[in-house]
Structure 1
Amino acid sequence: MDINAALRIDMDVLEHAGRADHIRSVAFRTGLYLAHKGKEPVGDCCVDFNYFLGQAFVSLLIVAQPFQKMGFGFALLEHVERLLDGDLWTSTNLTNGPMISLLLGRGYRACGQLDGLDDRDPELFFKKSKRGAKVNFQQV
């Protein structure tokens, strides 16, 4: 896994390395996925199981500026969704219209809001339940 590629994409988009430790941490737990155009890494997705009460949580989805709105974010989410048996959670700021549109377009439903993380920009939470997910029952 080319962790440095994910770090470069994040740095290029944000213009700072504030999330580098998080990206490295998720990568070492095998939750980092990269999208490529040819051989060039163009986006990444961090899926963390330690971040949100043991639930699969997309803590970061980012696509390099020149490749945004070309389907790479959609493809990254689609890939991660296929890997999981259960629900997938994520969140984004209210002002992040492109991410909200992407999530709604992939069938996520809004399920909560948290105020106070970012000044005057609430964090919206989304969940996608896998249809036909296997349910196991145990008699006690």
Structure 2
Amino acid sequence: MPDAKLSPTAPHWLIRQATPDDVHALVEMDAYATAHASRRVFIYDAVVRQQCLVAVAAGVCAGYLVLTHDFFDHGFVALVVVSPMYQRQGVALRLLVAAEAACETPKLFASTNASNTASQALMTKAGFVPSGQIDNLDEGDPERVYVKFIR
């Protein structure tokens, strides 16, 4: 059972596999995707490969997560995006719990930039622990790697 704490008053978010019909909504909520074609392609490819989970409430896509299994043959949360309208409402945490349940390996990895303190707090809240750092991806902003041991 995932150990992340979820508020009992949080809206009921349905977490499901994203479908091609969701792609437009996923791109629209992601400011980076609206400005960068490579991100739009990444989202589409993740959906087609069934690597994308989406959080939906009342028919509205609130956030999405991309889960792959190609990080040294382990599960890896490649991306978590929540619409600005739904941030700080538990959507990202619920997506991480769903990713943990869907992960096919005993370890689930994720990463974020050292400058992204909100994402680091989310990783801690979701039960991930620091697992190292990768330098030289973004100039002057190392990538912090996290792991959660799930099996």
- The 1:75/1:37 distance shift into structure 2, 3 A limit, reads same
How many residues are matched?
Answer: 129
Letter in 1 for 2:134: L
- Choose 1 or 2 for highest CA Rg: 1
> Paired residue for 1:33?
53
Letter in 2 for 1:113: Q
Task: Give the Cα separation in 2 of the matches to 1:113 and 1:97.
Answer: 15
> Paired residue for 1:93?
113
TM-score of the two chains, using structure 1 as the length reference = 0.85
Task: Give the Cα separation in 2 of the matches to 1:22 and 1:14.
Answer: 9
**1:82-138 per-position Cα deviation (integer Å, ceiling 9, x unaligned):** 2225211111001111110010111101011111111111000000001xx2xxxxx
TM-score of the two chains, using structure 2 as the length reference = 0.79
- Considering Cα pairs closer than 8 Å and 6+ residues apart, tell me whether 1 or 2 has the greater RCO: 2
Task: Give the Cα separation in 1 of the matches to 2:121 and 2:53.
Answer: 21
Task: Give the Cα separation in 2 of the matches to 1:84 and 1:36.
Answer: 20
Tell whether 2:46 aligns with 1:44: no
1:32-111 → structure 2 map (5 Å cutoff): 32-50=52-70, 52-85=71-104, 86-111=106-131
Letter in 1 for 2:58: G
SS in 2 for 1:19: helix
CA contact (8 A) 1:13 1:65 kept: no
1:113 pairs, out of 120, 133, 136, with 133
- The 1:46/1:95 distance shift into structure 2, 3 A limit, reads same
Query: What is the percent sequence identity of the aligned residues?
Result: 26
Task: Give the Cα separation in 1 of the matches to 2:33 and 2:54.
Answer: 17
After TM superposition, give the deviation of residue 42 of structure 1 in Å. 1.0
Task: Give the Cα separation in 2 of the matches to 1:87 and 1:47.
Answer: 12
CA contact (8 A) 1:62 1:73 kept: yes
CA contact (8 A) 1:91 1:125 kept: yes
Q: Where in structure 1 are there 5+ consecutive unaligned residues?
A: 134-140
- The 1:56/1:74 distance shift into structure 2, 3 A limit, reads same
> Paired residue for 1:126?
146
Please report the RMSD computed on the Cα atoms of aligned residues, expressed in angstroms.
1.5
